[in-house]
Structure 1
């Protein structure tokens, strides 16, 4: 145990942005520990409905009076400092914590497994959680997306292990002091917070210094940046990937319309086949991370492979939303050029059909700083439909819009149209799609709504039976 905080004097915890996927994952564990929990979020959706079925109070407007009885206020990095509840808490002397600090408190009495990296964190965290569930560890889990096998983004277990994601976007993962750290990759992202890739690697190195003594550092052998991290003394290391020399190595990778599979060699010895239902080399790489965790826990490969074969994915990660009149609609959270390339590659492995992508850029700062990389990221699409930027926590930057990406895409001769208003895209899709097409909505904002609206209007106008998720 590595104790960092105590909340002995805290009874009522107020969560600003409680419907955010990271903040909401904390609620079950807080209730299990006897805290009074309340919070605020303008959203009214499936997640808020699920939260409101619990013994908590949710206000759908941020107001200073909401925090009157709170003894601790917690917010994610997506909440602006000028939020009225944050300002009220500070003026009244109520402690305000970042979400990661509360997560660290919830992890500190457990044997923690923290998954960090630019891409794939949620899928890896979910895979590890399912692996531990299937093999009898009964873990607690905090996941950045809803998992089909949990029907939630969190669970409270009775076992000694807890699994969570570490958010590097604002450096707050430094609060976390795990026994096992998994670094899936490092990439140039969140450049509104970090000056360059070197600063990002340095922050990951600092995170590794917090891994408990004699703990494990598991990292990708395929990423040039993870290979440059400084590993602290008295920690054990295991690497994974497709690269020659990886401790856990994938060989003979194949993906088809049914599954992805590869042979796995562990420290020079062939172990057998690893199979799962997700497509793409990136997802096999994610699975190797989970295999590596299983190895450190002493599980036999056959048991690990059997557990991961049952994994069916996470909401908003290559999620099939429905099939309507022979048109397949998929949604993916990819919002960085590396993730987009991986998503399109995965679809091309599975489908030999016309592929139409709808991309909603996320954050003005990311759009302008990675505009050239975005221009190359959509190779493999037959048509790209661009809409305007989802701002999230940012204010507009003059001259930066979806057209910024379009200019770079056109340089790479990828067919592209720009429709700035998202609500006009479903009708556009209805007019151009035909049986056999695959449509994928791409982005970290609310682009998923376009796919659902397209399925709805197609059903209403053309009628007929469909298979909608």
Structure 2
């Protein structure tokens, strides 16, 4: 369900009682937790049990399992319903709220309402948003800034995806998939990269990239001083930096290449760590700031950390304190998350579902595996994404030793019999027998058990229910 964003978004303290339809999702649960921490009357419903619900119960949010009109009984025109885009048009709570004249907000309006009155730092990009938001949060916490934060995954340092801090900063992951990030009007923006995704929403690569230009244009310019920190190793990010600078925003370019204001050099990926040296461009020349050792492996995590560092420095925090926070970062749920080990086989899970994300996580997996092999179970996500990028996904999976591909996880779209996981499996450049296309999760688990041997690392990849495969696999390996 896609609700219009109202012309005027009220601050959270004027929303009355707030009920969340789909409260178990990463986005809505974060908003609900912050509102509850600020003393608002908050309730919510969901038809699934998710990892975000325990923190809501701790915060005193009244939760309902399933959707029913009686869950919104007593709500009136001075109250608010915040609705997930995954809600069906016939959702009984939405229908009942409409009949009573209850204010209806989409997720983006709900997040904008809790941002009111804070200095907003919004983290956007085709990939890396969750990790960069999490890293910046850890860095700011280490500096004593006590920010409010809303992240699209469970932050390892706190075990939660949101907290209402006492400081003036609000750090938020800004999702471009449905245009939500166009409603936040940040003071500071981080754009990790600008590639191509969610073309079911935007229609073309050009329109997708133009949305990031529109996002930058929502920031203050000139003397009001909007700041953009942007990864410029990719063409889209470099073009966005040029636009922001030409339109009167301060720009910090970060990356591994030349022309960056903040540069990572001498990158070393070793086991579960990533180490790099930070160089900063100054009017007097390039200055070495110091060495950083992350507790997560992968070149893409180096870039995420560099973006967080660039924002933290421009916000006035000391390099040493920021680095201490970055080095304390232990990961975010579903981002190279270790699920366990059985029969000498390590199992990890990651949300990666785009070609660049797959390539980055496989590089990290190779570092973790050492002398062992890397086996991957990949579940394509969305029919439209698989149609457009299936061959590129397959090419990226070629960095593994063996690959099991599941069928497309269908969400928000109708199935297309011409678009299946076979499009990905057929494009994996590995020898015969090293790639299998299977029907479902049970078949994938059996196939992985058949292929795995002690010393291997198994990585489950995708944005759908493939995340449930790791525990199944561990149980089978134990047996």
**TM-score relative to the length of structure 1:** 0.93
Alignment-derived partner of residue 330 in structure 2: 312
Match of 2:304? 286
Larger mean CA deviation between 290-299 and 226-235 belongs to 226-235
Instruction: Say whether 1:163 aligns with 2:171.
Output: yes
Q: What's 2:3 paired with?
A: none
C-alpha deviations, 1:402-431, integer Å up to 9, x for none? 223223336997931111121232233223
1:239 Cα deviation after fit: 0.9
Contact 1:174 1:207 in 2 (8 A): yes
CA contact 2:131–2:332 (8 Å) conserved in 1: yes
Find the aligned partners of 2:194 and 2:93 in 1 and give their Cα distance: 34
Distance in structure 2 (CA, Å) of the matches to 1:73 and 1:34: 17
Instruction: Work out whether residues 186 and 223 of structure 1, in 8 Å CA contact, stay in contact via their aligned partners in 2.
Output: yes
**Structure 1 residue 60 corresponds to structure 2 residue 60:** no
Question: What is the CA deviation profile of residues 369-418 of structure 1, one whole-angstrom value per residue up to 9, with x for unaligned ones?
Answer: 21221221202111111112222322212322222322333699793111
Using the TM superposition, name which of 178-187 and 399-408 deviates more: 399-408
Q: Residues 418, 151 of structure 1: CA spacing in aligned structure 2 closer, same or farther, 3 A cutoff?
A: same
State the secondary structure of the residue aligned to 1:225: helix
Indicate how the Cα distance of structure 1 residues 431 and 251 shifts in structure 2: closer, same or farther if over 3 A, else same.
same
Q: Secondary structure at the match of 1:317?
A: coil
Partner of 2:200: 192
Q: 1:8 to 1:142 in 2, by over 3 A?
A: closer
Q: Which residue of 1 aligns with 2:5?
A: none
Greater shift, 161-170 or 197-206, is seen at: 197-206
**Structure 1 stretch displaced more, 204-213 or 325-334:** 204-213
With over 3 angstroms needed to count, the CA separation of the structure-2 counterparts of 1:153 and 1:247, relative to structure 1, is same
Q: For residues 109 and 210 of structure 2, what CA distance do their matches in structure 1 show?
A: 20
Alpha-carbon separation, structure 2, partners of 1:356 and 1:59:
39
Deviations 1:146-178 (A, max 9, x none): 011111111111111110011100111111011
Q: Report the more deviating stretch, 299-308 or 208-217.
A: 299-308
Q: String of CA shifts for 1:38-96, please: whole Å, max 9, x gaps.
A: 12111124433442344222222223332233321112333344433333333433222
Match of 1:467 in 2: none
Residue number among 30, 38, 42 corresponding to 2:43 in the alignment? 38
Q: Which moved more, 1:413-422 or 1:274-283?
A: 413-422
Match of 2:159 in 1: 151
Structure 1 equivalent of residue 4 of structure 2? none
Verify the 8 A CA contact 2:305 2:326 in the aligned structure 1.
yes
Separation (CA, whole Å) in 1 of partners of 2:72 and 2:388: 38
In the TM superposition, what are the counterparts of 1:44-193 in structure 2 within 5 Å?
44-70=49-75, 71-193=79-201
Moved more, 450-459 or 60-69: 60-69
Contact 1:402 1:420 in 2 (8 A): no
Describe the shift of the 1:322–1:339 C-alpha distance in structure 2 as closer, same or farther (beyond 3 A): same
Other-structure match for 2:21 = 16
Matched, 1:243 2:247: no
Aligned to 1:337: 355
Structure 2 Cα separation of the partners of residues 104 and 412 of structure 1: 50
Map of 1:216 onto structure 2: 227
Give the superposition deviation at 1:457.
Answer: 2.7
CA distance in 1, matches of 2:97, 2:305: 42
**Root mean square deviation, CA, Å:** 1.9
- Tell me which moved more, 224-233 or 157-166: 224-233
Determine the structure 2 residue equivalent to 1:423.
Answer: 442
Q: Distance in 1 between matches of 2:446 and 2:366?
A: 25
Instruction: Give the deviation of 1:326 after TM superposition.
Output: 1.3
Q: Counterparts of 1:101 and 1:160 in 2: how far apart (Å)?
A: 20
Kept in 2: contact 1:384–1:414 (CA 8 A): no
Q: How far, CA to CA, are the matches of 2:399 and 2:163 in structure 1?
A: 38
Q: Distance in 2 between matches of 1:197 and 1:23?
A: 28
Change (3 A) 1:191 1:5: same
Q: Contact 2:147/2:166 (CA < 8 Å) preserved in 1? A: yes
Q: What CA deviation, in whole Å up to 9, does each residue of 1:267-293 have, x standing for no partner?
A: 121111121011111000000011101
CA contact (8 A) 1:12 1:69 kept: no
Alpha carbons of 1:93 and 1:397: their partners in 2 closer, same or farther (altered >3 Å)? farther
| CA deviation after TM superposition for structure 1 residue 18, in Å | 0.3
How far did 1:345 drift?
A: 1.5
Deviation of 1:200 (Å): 1.4
Equivalent position to 1:375, from 394, 397, 417: 394
Q: 2:273 matched to which residue of 1? A: 259
Counterparts of 2:456 and 2:203, CA distance in 1 = 41
Query: C-alpha separation between the residues in 2 aligned to 1:427 and 1:413?
Result: 19
Give the Cα separation in 2 of the matches to 1:101 and 1:150: 26
Q: 1:411 to 1:191 in 2, by over 3 A?
A: farther
Q: Which moves more between the two structures, 27-36 or 361-370?
A: 27-36
Once the two structures are superposed, what CA deviation does each residue of 1:226-246 show, in whole Å capped at 9, x if it has no partner? 222221634211110101110
Deviation at 1:302, TM superposition (A): 2.5
